[in-house]
Amino acid sequence: MEYEQQDGSYKFVIEGIVDINIPDSCYNIYFTDIDGKLTDKDLVACVKVKNKKFRYETNIDVMKQGRIRAIMPGNKLCSAWINIYFIPGFTVYMTVHDGYYDIHNKEQYLFMVSAWQNEVPVSALLARLGMDAASSPQDNNATKMQISLASYEHLNNELKRQIDQIMHMSITYDMKAKESQKILNRIEQINAKMEELIDDYSKDINF
The answer to whether residues 142 and 201 touch, using CB atoms and an 8 Å cutoff, is yes
Above 60 in pLDDT, residue 206? no
Give the start-to-end residue ranges of the domains of the chain.
Answer: 10-104, 109-205
Above 80 in pLDDT, residue 187? yes
- pTM of structure: 0.68
pLDDT of residue 192: 87
**pLDDT tens profile 79-129:** 889 999 999 888 999 999 988 899 999 988 988 888 787 766 676 677 666
Fold of 10-104: Immunoglobulin-like (2.60.40)
